[in-house]
Structure 1
């Protein structure tokens, strides 16, 4: 006599298909994360090109780390002068102001500033008061600056609204490059 088969005794053909679907879903979700982590850690398939012109400061340093105690809740074009603010420094101050004006409708999202370690010459101080009334001025701790930056030449920095250093430029930078970089940052940023 044939034994009656119960529904529990019938092999389920859906299990292998369900496992395949689960593995496929895990691969789709975890695969890109594993690939991205591997690319970052092992440095393969990393593009060689870059879209910015200055030196990227990506280590979370802020103004205080280079000897400038200041606060501003906007993007900032900061000129640092660890020595006397002479020709190159004065050119960067002029450039910072022109870049801010060049932002057009976004000009209110940025400011320009000068951090100098030495007192400014009286005639230049008078010129700044007359021509650059919105220029913020800060003292600069030259020893901490030189220790951290390692350069005594004037620099132009882009600083985010949180006070983090983003990009650094030397005195030979072209204003169009800085303007392009700052516009790109403002476009991507929801702060400041």
Structure 2
């Protein structure tokens, strides 16, 4: 056979892909996917238990489930009680109860604040997992009586200022509805998941939160 026959040419092993590297790459990707699934599994499991299995005797949930879920917009920023601006996504990891009103808090506004406060307080040892938020949609002054009543350590309602148009784009209401009529719930991974009815029944909201905190240990 001729020495220059292509069949006799030596193949440089270094030019071939190393199967060990490919195997490590595939293994690394698989581990990353499994890690993400592991992190999300408590939330997925609790949603399945709560909305599919329905542990409470098959009863439907009181709040309206937001579908598809709406993550907190990355661009949505809030100004806190000290005047510092930060993204709302910074509050991930807790259950957020959101009410939206202007600084001139009327009767409907104070009722929503009371509902949010009492929902948190009524959770007992679990209350630290719940953060009520008053999204204030203007730059007006806040009545100090509201601060004393709701922004205290027990109620821990956060007074945050945010853009009204940005909130309206994110928080869904029915046709003809008003975002100020509802209490909204955001889960610990940052998804808007539920809207409570206008003039919500405090006992039913409290019961809803007890079940959610029981079946979801995230946050």
TM-score by length of 1: 0.64
Q: Which has the larger radius of gyration?
A: 1
**CA distance, structure 2, for counterparts of residue 114 and residue 165 of structure 1:** 16
The structure-2 alpha-carbon separation of the partners of 1:91 and 1:82, relative to structure 1 and needing over 3 Å to count, comes to same
Question: Does 2:196 correspond to 1:156?
Answer: no
Q: Secondary structure at the match of 1:58?
A: strand
Aligned to 2:138: 118
Post-superposition Cα deviations, 1:132-175, rounded to whole Å, max 9, x if no partner, equal 22221222322233345354341211111122112112431011
Q: Secondary structure at the match of 2:68?
A: coil
**CA distance, structure 1, for counterparts of residue 140 and residue 215 of structure 2:** 36
Gaps of 5+ in 1: 1-46
**CA distance, structure 2, for counterparts of residue 53 and residue 76 of structure 1:** 17
Aligned to 2:148: 130
Pairwise CA RMSD of aligned residues?
A: 2.7
The count of corresponding residues between Structure 1 and Structure 2 is: 143
> Which of 37, 51, 67 is the equivalent residue of 1:58?
67
> Which of 80, 94, 97 is the equivalent residue of 1:74?
94
Gaps of 5+ in 2: 1-53, 78-86
List structure 1 runs of 4+ shifted beyond 6 angstroms. none
Question: Does 2:114 correspond to 1:105?
Answer: no
Post-superposition Cα deviations, 1:39-65, rounded to whole Å, max 9, x if no partner, equal xxxxxxxx9x75211111131203338
Aligned to 2:116: 96
